[in-house]
Structures are given as C-alpha cells and as structure tokens.
Structure 1
Amino acid sequence: MTINQHSQTGTNLLQTALAKPYHYRRSGRYYLRLRPQGTAKGFFTLSLRTTDKATAMTISQEILQTLKAYHFDNPEATWDELRERLIDIAEHSLTMAFGDSSLVAYEMINDEHHQALREASAKMPLSVNQQRAVSKALEIIEASQDRMKGRPGKLVEIVRDLKGESCSTSVALTPSLSVLQIQPMTFKTLSGLYMEERKDSIQASTMRDVKSTCDVIGAILGDLDLKNHSRDDMRNLRAKLLEERKPSTVRKILTRLSTVMDWGVNNDYISKALTDGLKPTKGVDSAREAFSQDQVKALMTHAKTLPVDSWQRWALSLGVITGTRIEELRQLTKADVKQVGDVWIIDINRDDGKTAKTKNALRVIPLTDGAYGFDLQAFRGFVEKVDSKLFKLGVGQFSGLLNGMLRDVLDLKADRTQTFHSLRHSLAGAMKAAEVPVGTAESILGHASGSISYDLYGAGSGVEVGRMAEALKVAFAV
C-alpha cells in the first residue's frame, strides 16, 4: 500500500502516540489515515488498494497490528523489546491454521505488509533498532509465504535464531551506500525494484500475478548476480521451467522475465538482459482447457439446486451464460443489471471505483433467458433484494470459493487446467460452433477493438445489443 507522509515543521510523527485511525473512500477505493494525538498535522495516508469495505477493514486491522508490533510510535524502543514482538509474529505465522480461502487472503495481506514495511523503512524517520526490526520482519513475511506453500524451513530457522539470540547482541548499523552498490543484483532484488516503481500504474490483481511469476523466476535463479550472468544461466532457467510446466506457461513466465530484465537495463541496474529468443515456440497453445458441453450442463444443473437467494447460484450461472472474467463478475452492482430495449444485460464498466482489465473489456452482455435452464426472472428477483453489490466477498475468497465449487462438482484436479476462466473458452467455443460472426463474439467477450458501453443509450445501441442477444440464443440453441 502506498504511504504518503506529510510531516509538518516541528512535528515528528514518531514522537507521540497515534490518534484513532481514520478511514475514508476516494474514487471508490478505501484509505487509512494516521496522525499523532493532539494535532491535525504530521499525518500519513495508506491506500488499502480495494473498493470492498470488508476487505479494506480486514487489511486495515492487519496494518494497525503491524504498526503496533514495531513500536512505530516509540522511537526509544530497545532491540530486545522489538525482538520479543518479532518472535510472537514469527511463531504465530508458523503455527496458524489456514483454510483454502484464508490461505489466499493471507498471501495478499502478507504482500501488502511487505510493501508497507519497505516504504516505511525508506520514507519514515525510524530509529536504528526499528530499521533492524523492519529488516527482520521482511524476512519473516517472505518465510511466511513459503510456509503457506508447505515450506516452513526458513520460518522455523528464523524463530530459532531470534529465540537463541543473546540479549546483549549489538545493533548492526545500516550499511553505507557504497556497500549497497557492491551487493549482488539478484532477480528477487531487481523484480522488487521493478514492482515498487510500477505499483501505482498496475492494477492490484495484475500486480499479484506479476509477483507470483517473479517469485517463480527468483526461486530458480536464487543468488545469481545478474550483473554478471550469462546466456547459459538464462537457458538453464528455461530448462528448469520446462521440467514441470507446459510450454505455454513457460512462455508467459519468460515474457515477464524479459520485461523485468529490460527494465533493469534501462534503469542501469544491470548491463545486459540476454533474454532475446529465449521463449519456447513449440507447444505454446493455451494450457487452459474449455469445459465440455456435458460439464457446462452439469454445472448449471448444480446451480439450479441452490436456493434462489444464494450468491453461488447466480455467480456460477452468469459465468456460464456471459463468459465474464471472474473479477468482472465479482464487481457487479445492482445498477449494472439493466434493460436496453427488450433485452436485459449486465454492464461491465468502471463506475464507482470498479476496475476492468482493458478498455476493450468495457462492454454489455445480454442475459439469455432459458440458456442451460437459466431463470432470468428469478435472477432479477435476487438482484432486487441486494443493497448494491451483487457479491459481497473479497477477491481471494470469491475466486477461491467459486473455483472450489467447480472442482467439487466436476471432480477436477487442482492443476488450473480447468478453472472458472475456462467458462470463457466454453462460451467462445459455443459461439464458434454456431458460426457467430467474429466481431459479435469479440464484443461479447470483450476482445473487440471498440465497445458499446460508452454509448449504451445512444443511437443504434438497441440494434447492437439485439444482435448480440440473437447470437447468444443461437449459440445456446434457446
């Protein structure tokens, strides 16, 4: 989360206790503002990077616990005091039990903590002991991410070292700039610098994908100094990636590698990239598989067994009949379900702080009554009863529960070959089989070069929506 510190003359944020936190919303996103007690000055603001209130409050509480843990309101804190807090945090991270949904949520929260602490270290006037604690905390967070992937070794070692450390251990001074300059430039370090610079221009959902991909690369390259790497190092990386992954997946990972490495060259962190021509060209078809018609019918049969007021019923049904991306679906509001002429549609837009993958993703999609048994009237009844958002869950929980339901209903393997996103491929296949014109199919899926969302009620909009509605009826054979 971004920290904007506004220190005023004579006011040091860290010399007094913090006042009650203040939350506010701007352009749909939630923010947390902190300030010293007894003054309106010297505050700093943290973006919570979400438009969902429940998610914002969860992340906010985690942030406040983090601030408390590092005595950010007490620059006189001793290393022993901070070390005890670090032990508590590390042990909690090591022993905490997780479910599938909480694993996803805490991975996101840990990412936010890691970034917040790095920015605090860079921008806030912390004491030497506090800086030392932040440095160790970053190690704990990174080890916690490994532990949630079933690799607890690093976290166990950190707990052991903290508990075994003598109370008289001297405080290590911050290394000089000249020392930092001669340190090796690992991919983990380089990608961290890249993500830090791009954090304000990349959407949170995309940034999570960037981090995940960079973590994969960093784990293989390890301590390799990119200031002195060779073409063989890059070939070995590709070979290691291909051992357990499909060529299409490796191609995407190496595309990210090339982006980060080129950025490193352009910003003078490294002198060469050596990634040209590295991506595999054979077997790079998409690893994502569409659901068969029998699978789609089984999903809709299951959906219809759920109560009419169940969000799962309508999330699954809309995925089947509209081919929306999962985050497009999660952000839908009551106002996004509307009628154009005689056709009911959902409107994918950026109103009220909602996000969209690209400008072309902004579109309207007709709702096809009767498609696989979809009950439009029952869905409208569900929409009427909600206050605003159709689905109340945060990103990780919404995705985790929906994909978990797909796996349970269809007895799928957890290899991401078939996921909620596969419903888009299924709809695309159905339209292709029905010989729907490419331009119409692109408009429905959000791949077209233009969008009618900007002119929803303009001249010809009814004709455009009607054309898409008829195409979907043909594809679904309604």
Structure 2
Amino acid sequence: MTINPRSQTGTNLLQTALAKPYHYRRSGRYYLRLRPQGTTQGFFTLSLRTTDKATAMTISQDILSTLKAYHLDNPEASWDELRERLLDIAEYSLTMAHGDSSLVAYEMINDEHHQALREASAKLPLSVNQQRAVSKALEIIEASQERMKGRSGNLVEIVRGLKDESCGTSVALSPSLSVSSSERLTFKALSALYMEERKESIQASTMRDVRSSCEAIATILDDLDLKAHTREDMKNLRDKLLEDRKPSTVKKLLTRLSTVMDWAVHNGYLDKSFDKGLKPTKGADSSREAFSQDQVKALMAHAEALPVDAWQRWALSLGVIAGTRIEELRQLTKADVKQVGDVWVIDINRNDGKTAKTKNALRVIPLTDGAYGFDLKVFLEFVQRADSRLFALGAGRFSELLNGLIRDVLGVKADRTLTFHSLRHSLAGALKAAEIPVGTAESILGHASGSISYDLYGAGSGVDVGRMAEALVKALR
C-alpha cells in the first residue's frame, strides 16, 4: 500500500472517511485508489496483485466492504453492533473461495489490516467496546491467514464463539413471562419465553415455523420439568418424534430444540441441557429431491404452451431459471424486474413490506433469455401489463396451485419429495455440474454464506451481475 504524502487526513485507512473509489490499470496490473472525503489531494493506493479484471473487481469489493466494517468512527457503538460486524467478516473469511492470485492479494491485505488495527489500538482514543472489537479483529485476521494455508480450525472456533455470544445476549422480559427459581418449567413455557424475546428479530414466516416446531416438541414433553430433565427424557423425545415423522423432519425439530435449550442455559433458565448428539443420521438428509433434466424440460415445455398472460407460465419459468424460493417469487412486484447494466434481473428485497428468509436472500438474479425456451421479451411484456404485484394470490393458495400444477404435469405424488422447492435443488445441481464457483452459486441462490463480498453497489455491481449472468448461461444451456 502506498500513501500520497500530501494526505493530512489520517495515518491509515481505518481512520479515514473515504470518497468513491477509483480503479486503474498500470503495466497490466490493477490498482485501487482511495481518496479521503473533502480533499482532492491525499489518497491511498492498493495494488490488487492481479491482471485479471474480474478478479480485481472482486478483491476490490472485498477490501471496501472490510474497511467499512472496520471503521472506528463511532465511540458509542455497542459491543453487539461491533460483534455482528466481526461475525460477518469472520464467516466470510472462513467460507470464501480463493484462486492463486487472490491468495497472494489477501495475504498482503490482511497484513496491512493487521498493522493498521494495531496502530489504531495504540494511538486512537477508542472506547472499551472498540478496543475489544480491535482485539477480536486481530484474532480473526491471524486466523484468516492460517485458513489460507489450509488450517481453518482457529477461524471456525472464532465464528462459533461469536455466534454463541449472540445466543447469550439477555433481554429483559415482561413480569408475566418471568420464571422464578422454584417454579416448574415446561418446554411450552420455555419456548414461549424464547419466542417473546426473539419476535422482533425473526421474520414472520420463520416465526411460524419456530412456533410449529416448538408445539410439536411441547406436545410430547408435556408437563416435564426441564429443570430436572435427564438424558433419558431427551432420548425418549427423539424416539417419540421418529414414530410418525421422517428422520429429516426429526433432525430439524431437534435442531430447534437445541436452539431453545442453548438459549435457556445462556440466559439462566436452565443449569444444563442434555439435548446434544440426538439427531438421527440414517435417512436424515433432506427428503427434497432435485428434478431430473427431463422433468425440468417437461415443466418448461408445459409453461411455454400456456397463454402469455397466465401467471402460472411465468411462475414456473422463474422457478426453473432463477431458483427462487416460492415466497420470494410470490412477492415480486413490477419494480423488482429491472436492468443492471445490460442485464435484466429480478430483485429480491424487503421493500414495501416484503419479507425475505435471511439477509443473504437479499439479492438480484439475472434472467437468462432462451434458457429452456424462456422468452425474456414476452416476460417483460407480461410485467408491463401486470399491476404492482406480478402474482396476486395469497401465500397458501399460490403454493397450493403451483405445487399442484407441478404434480399434474409430472405425475408425481404429493409426498413433499418433489415440490416447487426442488427447482432450487435442480438449479444448484446445474451450477455445480457447470463447475461454477461456490461464491457465485451462493449469490444466485441466496444461500447463507456470510459473504460480505457480494453486496452489490457502485461500479462493482455490474461486474457481479455480469458474472452471475455468465454462470447461469453456462449452467442452463
């Protein structure tokens, strides 16, 4: 990293508010120039250590996102706010894919961040929470360097520790929901406490699933006092659940049980929990299957034969070529179909009261003209004729009719093995078969990678969308 000597705004990037970045190329190699806000003279220059434009733009975006997360300009920041930033960085560092050029670049970048953070800790008037965050950030950087050499253990433990700390954050409860040490504590009462605390941070659709899972568990545990529960009680619960449920369903229910029990221990409602190691392994993989290529082609052939103004035509088509979740699809509006550069996309967002499963689900997905016969021009005409919402049905009816159509076209059973969601599995399989990088596939599917490098903004968004568009063309051909 080089620093223009005329800069008077700070000693390193972590102390400086930055204007819009500038990329340039010298002798075939790409560089990132960062200028402090309010000046036309001082600037920082980082070599991106690559001659490949796409790689340079990705590395550049990562640098900018990391700097934004590390900025130490808010002495009032709570530890929870800083911890969330650190968790994002740690998860991304753990899960990102590297090529030879990016390994070299990131080793250099991490060294510079490490030095800058140590200087900030020594010289800046940081609050206790900020100093704590700097200390943890240094650990993350050191563990990230190890991970790039094939040793990821320390970084895994850091991520786990930051997540566990999140579970232990205590919130005051209303008197009606408090529990005294002498009272019996059933799972029904405990899960009510958990849901009351988490109701502001969990999406409504997810909360419905949480409530349903907890009710199933509470029905079996009945009036068992969890303050005195044993390992045998938990094993009996598992066996009862397995009597009339698939192993994959029981695995999900026991995951929910562990979440609630861990929360209870961290918040002092229970001294211990005996729920670990109960999940069934045989047959516990998801019962959802991917459609075969012949089945996908049959669905698209049926869709293309429907009238151009039939919502079923476009719901099926988008499921096949974009791999959306069914509720993401149902909520699409006319404004969500847009152009990014030269690429038409659908924008999955939380605007106007829409919901999304996770923050990683917020994304844009390129539309691949010609994939399985998909006609982009005709679809855009459908969008123009639509009201604000592309699909007018409510969630239950939309899912019922769309899944019913799939069963009718393919002649499959209503056993939840092959459903609309299976189209996501099919697209994921196509991306894998086409050897698309994991990070790009996760960006398309909205999987929870924790990556901060795919936040789309500024000049980098066109690059990321272009890369996703190319990946889909390759996977769907």
Post-superposition CA distance 1:372-405 (Å, at most 9, x none): 1111111101100123121222222222222222
Q: How far apart are residue 122 of structure 1 and its match?
A: 6.6
Q: Is the 8 A contact 2:203 2:356 kept in 1?
A: no
User: Could you tell me the percent identity over the aligned residues?
Assistant: 74
Distance in 2 (alpha carbons) for counterparts of 1:274 and 1:239 = 15
Q: Which residue of 2 aligns with 1:371?
A: 371
Q: How far apart are residue 365 of structure 1 and its match?
A: 1.0
Distance change (3 Å), C-alpha of 1:394 and 1:451 = farther
Distance in 2 (alpha carbons) for counterparts of 1:198 and 1:441 = 30
Q: How far apart are residue 452 of structure 1 and its match?
A: 4.6
Distance change (3 Å), C-alpha of 1:187 and 1:460 = closer
Q: Is the 8 A contact 2:456 2:464 kept in 1?
A: no
Q: Is the 8 A contact 2:320 2:427 kept in 1?
A: yes
Q: How far apart are residue 234 of structure 1 and its match?
A: 0.4
Distance in 1 (alpha carbons) for counterparts of 2:403 and 2:219 = 27
**1:454 lines up with 2:462 in the alignment:** no
Q: How far apart are residue 296 of structure 1 and its match?
A: 1.1
Post-superposition CA distance 1:331-363 (Å, at most 9, x none): 211111112232211112222232222222222
Q: Which residue of 2 aligns with 1:469?
A: 469
Distance change (3 Å), C-alpha of 1:406 and 1:210 = same
Q: How far apart are residue 268 of structure 1 and its match?
A: 4.2
Q: Is the 8 A contact 1:444 1:468 kept in 2?
A: yes
Post-superposition CA distance 1:402-427 (Å, at most 9, x none): 22222232233232222211111100
Counterpart secondary structure, 1:260: helix
Residue type matched to 1:454 in 2? Answer: L
Distance in 2 (alpha carbons) for counterparts of 1:305 and 1:215 = 44
**1:405 lines up with 2:428 in the alignment:** no
Residue type matched to 1:414 in 2? Answer: A
Residue type matched to 2:326 in 1? Answer: I
Residue type matched to 2:467 in 1? Answer: R
Comparing 180-189 and 341-350, the one that deviates more:
180-189
Distance in 2 (alpha carbons) for counterparts of 1:189 and 1:419 = 35
Distance in 2 (alpha carbons) for counterparts of 1:249 and 1:182 = 34
Q: Is the 8 A contact 1:328 1:348 kept in 2?
A: yes
Q: How far apart are residue 436 of structure 1 and its match?
A: 2.0
Q: Which residue of 1 aligns with 2:312?
A: 312
Q: How far apart are residue 451 of structure 1 and its match?
A: 6.0
Q: How far apart are residue 208 of structure 1 and its match?
A: 0.8
Distance change (3 Å), C-alpha of 1:443 and 1:263 = closer
Q: Is the 8 A contact 1:364 1:453 kept in 2?
A: no
Post-superposition CA distance 1:12-54 (Å, at most 9, x none): xxxxxxxxxxxxxxxxxxxxxxxxxxxxxxxxxxxxxxxxxxx
Distance in 1 (alpha carbons) for counterparts of 2:468 and 2:456 = 16
Q: Which residue of 2 aligns with 1:322?
A: 322
Distance in 1 (alpha carbons) for counterparts of 2:249 and 2:453 = 30
Distance in 2 (alpha carbons) for counterparts of 1:454 and 1:460 = 7
Counterpart secondary structure, 2:302: helix
Distance in 2 (alpha carbons) for counterparts of 1:441 and 1:275 = 34
**1:302 lines up with 2:294 in the alignment:** no
**1:287 lines up with 2:255 in the alignment:** no
Counterpart secondary structure, 1:459: helix
Distance in 2 (alpha carbons) for counterparts of 1:225 and 1:439 = 45
Q: Is the 8 A contact 1:360 1:450 kept in 2?
A: no
Post-superposition CA distance 1:159-205 (Å, at most 9, x none): xxxxxxxxxxxxxxxxxx99x98764332222222212221221101
Distance in 1 (alpha carbons) for counterparts of 2:218 and 2:305 = 45
Counterpart secondary structure, 2:339: strand
Distance in 2 (alpha carbons) for counterparts of 1:476 and 1:433 = 10
Q: Which residue of 2 aligns with 1:198?
A: 198
Q: Is the 8 A contact 1:334 1:383 kept in 2?
A: yes
Distance in 1 (alpha carbons) for counterparts of 2:232 and 2:243 = 17
Q: Is the 8 A contact 1:348 1:364 kept in 2?
A: yes
Distance in 1 (alpha carbons) for counterparts of 2:406 and 2:211 = 26
Q: Which residue of 1 aligns with 2:362?
A: 362
Q: Which residue of 1 aligns with 2:262?
A: 262
Distance in 1 (alpha carbons) for counterparts of 2:269 and 2:464 = 51
Distance in 1 (alpha carbons) for counterparts of 2:377 and 2:274 = 58
Gaps in structure 1 of 5+ consecutive residues: 1-120, 124-176
Counterpart secondary structure, 1:435: coil
Q: Is the 8 A contact 2:199 2:207 kept in 1?
A: yes
Distance change (3 Å), C-alpha of 1:330 and 1:276 = same
**1:417 lines up with 2:381 in the alignment:** no
Distance in 2 (alpha carbons) for counterparts of 1:413 and 1:221 = 33
**1:347 lines up with 2:347 in the alignment:** yes
Q: Which residue of 2 aligns with 1:188?
A: 188
Distance in 1 (alpha carbons) for counterparts of 2:263 and 2:438 = 36
Q: Is the 8 A contact 1:349 1:453 kept in 2?
A: no
Q: Is the 8 A contact 1:345 1:366 kept in 2?
A: yes
Counterpart secondary structure, 1:277: coil
Comparing 409-418 and 428-437, the one that deviates more:
409-418
Distance in 1 (alpha carbons) for counterparts of 2:182 and 2:404 = 47
Distance change (3 Å), C-alpha of 1:285 and 1:421 = same
Q: Is the 8 A contact 1:346 1:364 kept in 2?
A: yes
TM-score, scaled relative to structure 2: 0.58
Q: Which residue of 2 aligns with 1:240?
A: 240
Distance in 2 (alpha carbons) for counterparts of 1:199 and 1:368 = 38
Residue type matched to 2:263 in 1? Answer: W
Q: Is the 8 A contact 1:363 1:451 kept in 2?
A: no
Post-superposition CA distance 1:440-477 (Å, at most 9, x none): 2122112351465531xx21433322222222112111
Q: Is the 8 A contact 1:311 1:391 kept in 2?
A: yes
Counterpart secondary structure, 1:339: strand
Q: How far apart are residue 257 of structure 1 and its match?
A: 0.5
Q: How far apart are residue 267 of structure 1 and its match?
A: 4.1
Post-superposition CA distance 1:58-112 (Å, at most 9, x none): xxxxxxxxxxxxxxxxxxxxxxxxxxxxxxxxxxxxxxxxxxxxxxxxxxxxxxx
Matches for 1:169-188 after TM superposition, within 5 Å: 184-188=184-188
